[in-house]
Structure 1
Amino acid sequence: MTLPRQATSVTRVLTFFNAFKRVLVGRPFRNDKLAHTLLPKRIALPIFASDALSSVAYAPDEILLTLALAGVAAVTLAPWVGIAVMVVLLTVVASYRQNVHAYPSGGGDYEIANVNLGKFAGLTVASALLVDYVLTVAVSMSSAANYLATAVPGMHGTQAWVAVIGVVVLALVNLRGIREAGSVFAVPTYIFIVCIMGMTAVGIFQAVTGTLGQAPSAAFEIVPEPGFESGLVGLAGGFLLLRAFSSGAAALTGVEAISNGVPNFQKPKSKNAATTLLLLGAIAAAMLAGILFLANATHVHVVLDPAKEFLLNGAPLPEGYVQFPAISQIAATVFGNGSIPFFIIVAATGVILVFASNTAFNGFPVLASILAQDGYLPRQLRTRGDRLAFSNGVLALAFGAIVLIVAFNADVTKLIQLYIVGVFISFTASQVGMVRHWTRELRRVKDRLTRLRMLRSRTINSIGFLMTLTVLIIVLVTKFEQGAWIALLAMLVLFLIMWSIRAHYDNVAKELAVDADVSARALPSRIHAVLLVSHVRKPVLRALAFARASRPSTLEAITVDIDPDETERTIADWDMLDLPVPLTVLASPYRETITPIMNHITAMRRDSPRDLIVVYIPEYVVGKWWEQLVHNQTALRIKTRLHFEPGVMVASVPWQLKSSKDSQKYQELSS
């Protein structure tokens, strides 16, 4: 039976696609180029710390938004909430400096929890981190799109599509390789740091000299939410204060990325990673403090719904009012709205928010690769792509982030509620894991100086554990109803998926393991060869020659009687060539091809269960994609069915048509 092959030959279309891919991604790197992708500290800082550094662009807004629910007076407490956040930030940074020295392999929180707390805890941390990485991209890109809308008011309402385009562009940059991505991101990140630090310095100078103006929203009255008319009093006020703190704790996201990326640092890896962590903590804390100080000094007001919560002289704001983020309002106050420094700061903030997603694009693929090596994710995620980046992980992260952006319409306030749950689960688990690690090591070490160093590290990690556990409880209590339950549900689903993947791989390994059962190595009693025939043509004769050359115990040709006239012609052609193989005609009263063949093979297996059956299928190899459409897919369907039959093997015998040879020549000329 001459059947077309589901050809995978390279065609002009595929050649064009490969050329287009090379333009976007670049030429492949050899394995020996991996060492050249390692990062110095000056490049590693913008790559791994951009998420935490960029949090000053939205963490202050979230603190101000939450406190504004209790009115103008409550907003004045924002700097104190910021101080609490900075204390936690610096404590976590100090704790993670111990982590990178103890576990420099790149597994980060997952490895620490897996080794010290067990597989269940390790997988819980992994699911939390994976979900949080996806949320990092979604929140950062959505926030960047909102900042862009402040600079270009005409883009208001298109933030979701802008964010999606940003994710796609960032994925393409990361597919080109981590070193190239770092070179792209380094300069804008440092520009953002200089902009915020410079604006803070100028703003503080103006505040000291009495020349600092008022923010554009300073004159607005804030209508408190029902129940908060008296401000932050009672249990509800305390709860709101904790909720503001938990929103501001988003500034800590991204700290764990450095511990996951230690293998990407130049030697000495652990020392360079720890130094980068220290720089991250100092810069992020200083920037956050500066923004909150200036927001308080200029009386920046930010609310969830300006049309309902803002009043100007006792009346609602005019229609069409667009609320600017805190940094934009501060820049307009310090340098003047529409000034060159204003646009530079807004542009730098928008760019850093885009690049903040790059932290996740480095952390997610590495963690996914480690999980794939451990059997918890598909093995396609474990290998590097053409440019020595984990390409499949990059694509998976981009897809997940785009789904979230579209689902929440790039609304940062809604996305932020889902955000930091996962990262504080990983923070807490890694810190208690490190406490157990140092406790275990102290039992083994006798040297006094080494023990003192370990005791200091355990003390730091113990403080980090207590602090992150406290924040985690606050986050869960204050954010559960606002959307944190969605993140927890996603973590649970991902946990179950990874657990089932590992169980599947374990079952397959047991099933395929070589044991003492000699029947698995014994030769079959006999080999029966079956040749499928539809017309007597060259492909059939080639397949017949191959089948005879294999010297089977028996060789049989079969054809299905779908059309009596065609069947008669096939029999006549077979007899005319006097071929030394019997041709069996299978009846098909319902004009089916596959069912009679399967019934025939099943009957052969029933009669000789210990024998092996080899089915030879002649197939066409075509060169043009549209040629697949004019040939039926019977061969593929037959092979798919036969692959589920025990004791049956399929041998595809290709016959290259002229178009496939032309395509091969075209490919050779193109290369």
Structure 2
Amino acid sequence: MIHVTELLKRLVIGRAKRSEELHETLLPKRLALPIFASDPLSSVAYATQEILLVLTLGGLAYLHFTPWIAAAVVFLMTVVVLSYRQVVHAYPSGGGSYEVASTNLGPAAGLVVAASLLVDYVMTVAVSVASGVDNIISAVPDLDSHRVGIALGFVALLTAANLRGIRESGRAFAAPTYLFIAGVLIMVGTGLFRYLVGDAPVAESAAYDIEPEPGDADLAGLALMMLVLRAFSSGCTALTGVEAISNGVPAFRKPKSKNAASTMAAMGLIAIAMFSGVTTLAVVAKVHIVEDPCHLVGLADCGDHTQRTVIAQLAAAVLGGDSSVGFYYIQAATALVLILAANTAYNGFPLLGSILAEHRYLPRQLHNRGDRLAFSNGILALAIVAGALLWAYKANVTDLIHLYILGVFTSFTLSQSGMVRHWNRALRATPDPAARRRYHVARVVNATGAVITGLVLVIVLATKFVQGAWLAVLAAVLLWLMMRGIRRHYDATAAELAVTDPRDELAPPSRVLAIVLVSTVHKPTLRALAYARALRPDRLEALTVAVEREEAAELEQRWAQLDVDVPLKVLDSPYREITRPVVEYVRSIRRTSPRDVISVYIPEYVVGRWWENLLHNQSALWLKSRLLFTPGVMVTSVPWQLSSSIRADRPAPRAPGSVRRGEPPSPAASHHRPGTR
């Protein structure tokens, strides 16, 4: 079983890598772009759609706000990209927004950023995969009933790919990302060219009027402003994942900061071009998309109709219909890149989790690298939580999107505010006029970013809170409290374990009392006795528990017959317990002689098959767990390797006269006492 598991592991994630090979995993810019920027690039596929979905709540009358909302999103993206380029140069060690906020605003603010980003990374996986599945269903509507299963399958594939290492996942995901970029730009260019020459493409939904939601047909004043702000906050999903590059600077090749900044600039330019083009084309083609297809006036069988996404409608209108090669190319590339957009989170979440674990805010296991030098525990944790969300929300993008982007703008606002403080300190410490001019410009950029993203954060909270964003806020608050609690535990543990006087800690005990637990007289028991005697304790005794009086009497008789020169003490157990009598006996000795050290030796079987563990050592495990909480008591396991365990590690032909596999050394007392279960 062990060999089969190891074989499957190697097939999935590949051979283990040595720590010295870490430099081989560093990324060139051509691979870093699809790894760290696939999320903001892929958001083009649904950001425009989210704007239209909100505006069409009031019917067709409000679609003329679409270009203005898109322009505001583009301006915001430009400011954020410029701001994070400065974060990359100022804090090249990774950590991004978390490090900036912690350094300049304090640990509490840093934890707010960290909690927000961790929640947002989980949402990135859930929303990206669900949106990718949506596009697959747009091309093959019959798959709609299998939506959740398909989504969970993609999460499993992404997890396996990332467990193989960051460079390997980048190679696998680079081609779909670049194919998507090329496909969208070709579609946008073709559509706009047709519009300029008088042959504007027309979307399949353009012929349908839209029935507004009750009360939303004639909005004005504050109500209209709230609708526009809600559409703007939905369109801001285009900014998700922008900060991932600043978190992953250590993964770049040298010069790290320069390469990361160049990658961020390229990501910003491509994302802005694609988002602007898709939005313009959607307006030109008159795409009408609603949450409920029955609001499309004139649509027959609306209850059974699955409305195509904006990208799908544009591809059909521009590239020759829904049976053309171009349509299927765009749908396949979009579905792939949306699913692979989750890879941004698969790199950001483990990296941030590793930094937080190093700072003792998360379990230390998240800082450990796996066989392929990836932070495997963080990857698995992300997959489990994101998979649970997809299952709970039935992989529905519209439901999941309300939980999204809140964390992004929390981290944007705090990190840019922290950068303003960073430049203030730099200005106080720098007399050079040229440097001061650069710092002044940088401070203006970050201050602008802080103000704008702060306003967007307020808008997102106001428009999405009651629609489900409160769950994301609650999750971030609980995560913040949990991280504070973990740090308090680690700090308290470190303080308790700190050495103040080495001479006092090195003072030997008055005496050492060795106790060997006995269930029956067999080879494991005698080995434990021999080992305990070899350590020369001041006193050595054997201890057994009389669960069954007849068995205890037989054990005493056998002990006397073998003339074992170690006294055997028998503890009575009227309630057929093993653990309680042993623990109480050991504690009674400690109360009598508190300066003595008691060393308890427990014979245990070592088995070679997983199912054999269910048949042995269960009493021993429970007893050890109880004894470990007793001060002044040392617990030592004395292993006895059964033949199956030897064969599991070193296959060899069975020697004549050897013990049969799985055969216990003695049937006596095999149901109750430690060392035999």
Among 150, 175, 179, the residue aligned to 1:187: 175
Letter in 1 for 2:490: Y
Residue in 2 aligned with 1:251?
A: 238
Alpha-carbon distance in structure 1 between the residues aligned to 2:11 and 2:493: 40
Deviation larger for 374-383 or 157-166: 157-166
Alpha-carbon distance in structure 2 between the residues aligned to 1:667 and 1:20: 23
Among 59, 64, 75, the residue aligned to 1:71: 59
Residue in 1 aligned with 2:328?
A: 343
Q: Please say if residues 96 and 246 of structure 2, whose CA atoms lie closer than 8 Å, have aligned partners that are also in contact.
A: yes
Alpha-carbon distance in structure 1 between the residues aligned to 2:148 and 2:274: 28
Among 359, 382, 397, the residue aligned to 1:397: 382
Correspondences of 1:161-240 after superposition (within 5 Å): 161-230=149-218, 232-240=219-227
Letter in 1 for 2:143: M
What per-residue deviation string (whole Å, max 9, x for no partner) do you get for residues 544-573 of structure 1? Answer: 111111111111112212222222221122
Letter in 2 for 1:619: E
Among 312, 318, 322, the residue aligned to 2:306: 322
- Uncovered stretches (5+) of structure 2, i.e. residues with no partner: 654-677
Matched, 1:34 2:19: no
Deviation of 1:316 after TM superposition, in Å, equals 5.8
Q: TM-score, normalised by structure 2?
A: 0.95
Deviation of 1:518 after TM superposition, in Å, equals 4.9
Q: Please say if residues 93 and 249 of structure 2, whose CA atoms lie closer than 8 Å, have aligned partners that are also in contact.
A: yes
Letter in 1 for 2:243: E
Alpha-carbon distance in structure 2 between the residues aligned to 1:595 and 1:238: 70
Correspondences of 1:558-573 after superposition (within 5 Å): 558-573=543-558
Among 122, 133, 146, the residue aligned to 2:134: 146
Deviation of 1:444 after TM superposition, in Å, equals 0.6
Paired residue secondary structure (1:666): coil
Deviation of 1:484 after TM superposition, in Å, equals 1.1
Letter in 1 for 2:148: A
Paired residue secondary structure (1:617): strand
Matched, 1:488 2:476: no
Among 515, 528, 533, the residue aligned to 1:548: 533
Alpha-carbon distance in structure 2 between the residues aligned to 1:505 and 1:667: 47
Residue in 1 aligned with 2:296?
A: 310
Q: Please say if residues 212 and 333 of structure 1, whose CA atoms lie closer than 8 Å, have aligned partners that are also in contact.
A: no
Alpha-carbon distance in structure 2 between the residues aligned to 1:567 and 1:229: 88
Deviation of 1:233 after TM superposition, in Å, equals 2.0
Matched, 1:134 2:122: yes
Alpha-carbon distance in structure 2 between the residues aligned to 1:525 and 1:574: 30
What per-residue deviation string (whole Å, max 9, x for no partner) do you get for residues 356-403 of structure 1? Answer: 000011111000000000000000001211111111111111111111
Residue in 2 aligned with 1:7?
A: none
Letter in 2 for 1:198: I
Letter in 2 for 1:139: V
Matched, 1:449 2:437: no
Matched, 1:383 2:368: yes
Alpha-carbon distance in structure 1 between the residues aligned to 2:579 and 2:115: 44
Q: Please say if residues 164 and 402 of structure 1, whose CA atoms lie closer than 8 Å, have aligned partners that are also in contact.
A: yes
Alpha-carbon distance in structure 2 between the residues aligned to 1:585 and 1:317: 82
What per-residue deviation string (whole Å, max 9, x for no partner) do you get for residues 175-203 of structure 1? Answer: 00111111111111111011110001110
Q: Please say if residues 46 and 185 of structure 1, whose CA atoms lie closer than 8 Å, have aligned partners that are also in contact.
A: yes
Letter in 2 for 1:424: F
Deviation larger for 316-325 or 423-432: 316-325
Deviation of 1:318 after TM superposition, in Å, equals 4.4
Residue in 2 aligned with 1:86?
A: 74
Q: Greater RCO between the two (CA within 8 Å, min separation 6)?
A: 1
Q: Please say if residues 138 and 405 of structure 1, whose CA atoms lie closer than 8 Å, have aligned partners that are also in contact.
A: yes
Alpha-carbon distance in structure 1 between the residues aligned to 2:303 and 2:569: 83
Deviation of 1:595 after TM superposition, in Å, equals 1.9
Matched, 1:14 2:8: no
What per-residue deviation string (whole Å, max 9, x for no partner) do you get for residues 566-604 of structure 1? Answer: 222211221112222111111122222222212211211
Alpha-carbon distance in structure 1 between the residues aligned to 2:315 and 2:578: 74
Matched, 1:594 2:582: no
Alpha-carbon distance in structure 2 between the residues aligned to 1:622 and 1:540: 17
Alpha-carbon distance in structure 1 between the residues aligned to 2:647 and 2:33: 51
What per-residue deviation string (whole Å, max 9, x for no partner) do you get for residues 268-323 of structure 1? Answer: 1111111111111111111111111111111101101112x1111xx765442220
Q: Please say if residues 310 and 317 of structure 1, whose CA atoms lie closer than 8 Å, have aligned partners that are also in contact.
A: no
Q: Please say if residues 310 and 316 of structure 1, whose CA atoms lie closer than 8 Å, have aligned partners that are also in contact.
A: no
Alpha-carbon distance in structure 1 between the residues aligned to 2:107 and 2:614: 49
Alpha-carbon distance in structure 2 between the residues aligned to 1:115 and 1:327: 42
The change in CA–CA distance for 1:68 and 1:85 in structure 2 (over 3 A counts) is same
Q: Please say if residues 176 and 387 of structure 1, whose CA atoms lie closer than 8 Å, have aligned partners that are also in contact.
A: yes
Q: Please say if residues 548 and 555 of structure 1, whose CA atoms lie closer than 8 Å, have aligned partners that are also in contact.
A: yes
Alpha-carbon distance in structure 2 between the residues aligned to 1:575 and 1:318: 89
Letter in 1 for 2:9: K
Correspondences of 1:612-623 after superposition (within 5 Å): 612-623=597-608
Among 252, 255, 258, the residue aligned to 1:271: 258
Alpha-carbon distance in structure 2 between the residues aligned to 1:222 and 1:650: 75
Letter in 2 for 1:254: G
Q: Please say if residues 67 and 244 of structure 1, whose CA atoms lie closer than 8 Å, have aligned partners that are also in contact.
A: yes
Alpha-carbon distance in structure 2 between the residues aligned to 1:246 and 1:533: 70
Paired residue secondary structure (1:349): helix
Alpha-carbon distance in structure 2 between the residues aligned to 1:667 and 1:271: 57
Paired residue secondary structure (2:514): strand
Letter in 1 for 2:167: R
Alpha-carbon distance in structure 2 between the residues aligned to 1:630 and 1:456: 71
The change in CA–CA distance for 1:667 and 1:294 in structure 2 (over 3 A counts) is farther
Q: TM-score, normalised by structure 1?
A: 0.95
Residue in 1 aligned with 2:143?
A: 155
Matched, 1:331 2:319: no
Residue in 1 aligned with 2:424?
A: 439
What per-residue deviation string (whole Å, max 9, x for no partner) do you get for residues 76-132 of structure 1? Answer: 321221111000001110111111000011110000000000000000000000000
- Uncovered stretches (5+) of structure 1, i.e. residues with no partner: 1-12
Residue in 2 aligned with 1:577?
A: 562
Q: Please say if residues 15 and 667 of structure 1, whose CA atoms lie closer than 8 Å, have aligned partners that are also in contact.
A: no
Matched, 1:366 2:354: no
Residue in 2 aligned with 1:285?
A: 272
Deviation of 1:59 after TM superposition, in Å, equals 0.5
Matched, 1:418 2:403: yes
Residue in 2 aligned with 1:49?
A: 37
Letter in 2 for 1:380: Q
Deviation of 1:627 after TM superposition, in Å, equals 2.2
Residue in 2 aligned with 1:533?
A: 518
Alpha-carbon distance in structure 2 between the residues aligned to 1:316 and 1:23: 50
Residue in 1 aligned with 2:286?
A: 299
Q: Please say if residues 129 and 338 of structure 2, whose CA atoms lie closer than 8 Å, have aligned partners that are also in contact.
A: yes
Residue in 2 aligned with 1:262?
A: 249
Deviation larger for 126-135 or 181-190: 181-190
Alpha-carbon distance in structure 2 between the residues aligned to 1:194 and 1:370: 36
Deviation of 1:517 after TM superposition, in Å, equals 7.4
Alpha-carbon distance in structure 1 between the residues aligned to 2:606 and 2:36: 48
Alpha-carbon distance in structure 1 between the residues aligned to 2:189 and 2:431: 50
Q: Please say if residues 353 and 366 of structure 2, whose CA atoms lie closer than 8 Å, have aligned partners that are also in contact.
A: yes
Q: Please say if residues 311 and 317 of structure 1, whose CA atoms lie closer than 8 Å, have aligned partners that are also in contact.
A: no
Runs of 4 or more consecutive aligned structure 1 residues displaced over 4 Å after TM superposition: 315-319
Paired residue secondary structure (2:402): helix
Deviation of 1:631 after TM superposition, in Å, equals 3.1
Paired residue secondary structure (1:584): strand
Letter in 2 for 1:311: V
Correspondences of 1:458-473 after superposition (within 5 Å): 458-473=443-458
* Percent of aligned positions that are identical: 54
Alpha-carbon distance in structure 1 between the residues aligned to 2:28 and 2:224: 47
Paired residue secondary structure (2:173): helix
